[in-house]
């Protein structure tokens, strides 16, 4: 009898163990299913952006090439601010849709999608697009454009401003699809239109296939057209109803005060977070710019590499947002927490690998950008500091994604405000201007910033209070 009980107990324990293993496997599978398309999309998007710049840099006339690159850089700054606001507004849509999907209330999803689209277009896309078209010269002048850059870039800025309308629409749809856990569709569409954009750039910039050479204006036309094409494809996809996210137009649109409340409650802190981040980055760049042209060039190379290193954290952060929202919608906060923890584990593994590569091969990586030995030396030191940042950066981005998926956007705002504005900028000023530590000093400020932000986000996540955030 005792032997039989022991055998039964052993079987029971083995069964529980196998269930835990299976659950872990399923959790990993769910995380990777959502994260890998986003990761591929982000990496290849960065690559396509680099190709665009290379094409402009190879315009026959060096002066026009330099002015074209400058025009693109000056256009990107206000463009990124606009897109960050659009993205912040749509964080609420992702969280709400994820909740409804988790709760299996898919009948409410279309109404949320309609709200997201209309608010994005009315509040941000249309006003900012018109502002860019009519005040292109003033904006470029404010950004510091010289006469040559203004002459070359005026048309480009106006065309990109028109394209911003379609890009904002695409962001809104992508946010909704990600809330439902559908990241493959956006990946496929974005990769296809980006490839078309690259081909269009080559034709319009250089005047291939009998088309007049339009330079940077041609690049703008190709970019805007690719965004328009993506909008058309997404609309067709939604109308066909092959996904939970769809547009049927069966019922007349009505504003829902609860949906508006949720979008504002979640989106306003996210928007303020983006504004704090952008202001902090501009002040940080101004401090580094005071070190001279060579140092600033090294700094820009480091920023380029750092931007690439954001991709794993962003991808797994998006996956965490979707899965946490779905878990809470299903009234299963423990599953939501398990998704966040597993996402952090996988993301930390990838970021650790990147940290190793950055630390060991920093001179070789910098050499891909320049042959200047002084820039290579300065940037290599900064890149080693970036390597040390990676674990904290990745963990912070992923766990913050989990908080956003729960609708808890206040604490990411607090962490960004304290970390970027209160620590990065102040420490960079002290290290650079008072202690004369140069570029490494500036990046020491970045390290402390990322560590503090990670600490704030980690403490909030560990508290478990995000599990109790409700939506109407």
* Residue 7 confidence (pLDDT): 45
- Residue 33, pLDDT > 70, answer yes
* Banded pLDDT at 299 (limits 50, 70, 90): confident
In whole angstroms, give the CA distance from residue 315 to residue 31: 10
pLDDT at residue 3, rounded to an integer: 41
Mean pLDDT along residues 299-307: 75
- The answer to whether residue 16 scores a pLDDT higher than 60 is no
| pLDDT score for 25 | 64
Rounded CA separation 249/241 (Å): 11
Predicted pLDDT of residue 221: 94
Compute the distance between CA of residue 18 and CA of residue 339 in angstroms, rounded to an integer: 19
* CA dihedral sign, ordered 34, 39, 42, 47: negative
Q: Quote the distance between the C-alpha of residue 313 and its chain's center.
A: 9
pLDDT score of 164 more than 80: yes
169, pLDDT greater than 90? yes
Q: Which residues of 248-263 are buried (b: 16+ CB within 10 A; e: fewer)?
A: eeeeeeeebeebeebb
Tokens of 90: 């749509």
Does residue 169 contact residue 121 with C-beta atoms inside 8 Å? yes
Q: Over 60: is that where the pLDDT of 432 sits?
A: yes
- Give the model confidence (pLDDT) of 95-137 as tens digits: 999 999 998 888 888 889 999 999 999 999 999 999 999 999 9
What's the average model confidence in pLDDT over 349-355? 88
H-only helix segments in 361-467: 362-367, 373-405, 410-416, 425-429, 438-463
Whether residue 18 has pLDDT greater than 90: no
The pair of structure tokens assigned to 444 is 């020491």
Q: What is the dihedral of CA 165, 169, 172, 174, to 10 degrees?
A: -120
Which of 148-162, 228-242, 291-305 is predicted with the least confidence, judged by mean pLDDT? Answer: 291-305
Which tokens sit at 275? 């504004």
Of the two residues 249 and 187, the one the predictor is more confident about is: 187
Task: Locate 43 and state its tokens.
Answer: 């990496």
Average pLDDT taken over every residue of the chain: 86
At 98, is the secondary structure helix, strand, or coil?
Answer: helix
Residue 176: name the closest of 61, 120, 97 by CA. Answer: 97
């Amino acid at each position: 009898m005792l032997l039989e009980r022991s055998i039964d107990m052993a079987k029971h324990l083995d069964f529980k163990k196998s269930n835990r293993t299976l659950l872990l496997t399923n959790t990993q599978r769910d995380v990777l299913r959502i994260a890998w398309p986003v990761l591929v999309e982000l990496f290849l998007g960065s690559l396509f952006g680099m190709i665009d710049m290379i094409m402009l840099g190879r315009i026959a006339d060096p002066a026009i090439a330099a002015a074209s690159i400058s025009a693109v850089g000056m256009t990107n700054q206000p463009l990124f601010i606009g897109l960050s606001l659009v993205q912040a507004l749509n964080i609420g849509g992702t969280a709400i849709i994820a909740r409804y999907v988790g709760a299996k209330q898919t009948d409410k999803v279309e109404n949320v999608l309609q709200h997201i689209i209309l608010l994005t277009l009315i509040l941000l896309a249309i006003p900012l697009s018109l502002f860019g078209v009519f005040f292109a010269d003033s904006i470029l002048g404010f950004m510091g454009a010289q006469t040559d850059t203004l002459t070359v870039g005026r048309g480009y800025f106006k065309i990109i401003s028109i394209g911003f309308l379609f890009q904002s629409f695409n962001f809104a749809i992508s946010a909704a699809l990600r809330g439902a856990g559908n990241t493959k569709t956006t990946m496929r569409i974005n990769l296809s239109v980006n490839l078309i954009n690259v081909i269009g750039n080559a034709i319009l910039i250089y005047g291939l296939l009998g088309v007049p050479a339009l330079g940077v204006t041609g690049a703008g036309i190709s970019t805007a057209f690719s965004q328009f094409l993506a909008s058309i494809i997404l609309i067709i996809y939604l109308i066909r109803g092959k996904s939970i996210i769809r547009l049927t137009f069966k019922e007349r649109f009505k504003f829902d005060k609860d949906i508006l409340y949720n979008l504002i409650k979640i989106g306003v802190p996210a928007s303020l977070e983006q504004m704090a981040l952008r202001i902090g980055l501009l002040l940080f760049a101004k401090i580094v710019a005071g070190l001279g042209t060579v140092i600033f060039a090294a700094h820009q190379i480091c920023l380029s590499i750092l931007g690439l290193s954001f991709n794993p954290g962003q991808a797994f952060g998006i996956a965490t947002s979707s899965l946490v929202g779905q878990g809470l919608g299903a009234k299963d906060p423990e599953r939501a927490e398990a998704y966040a923890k597993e996402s952090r584990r996988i993301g930390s593994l990838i970021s650790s690998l990147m940290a190793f590569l950055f630390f060991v091969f920093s001179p070789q990586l910098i050499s891909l950008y320049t042959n200047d030995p002084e820039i290579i030396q300065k940037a290599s030191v900064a890149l080693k500091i970036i390597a040390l940042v990676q674990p904290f950066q990745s963990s912070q981005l992923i766990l913050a994604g989990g908080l956003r998926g729960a609708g808890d956007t206040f604490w990411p705002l607090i962490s960004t405000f304290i970390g970027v504005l209160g620590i990065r900028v102040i420490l960079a000023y002290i290290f650079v201007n008072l202690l004369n530590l140069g570029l490494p000093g500036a990046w020491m400020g970045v390290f402390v910033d990322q560590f503090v932000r990670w600490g704030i986000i980690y403490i909030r996540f560990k508290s478990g209070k995000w599990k109790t955030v409700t939506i109407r």
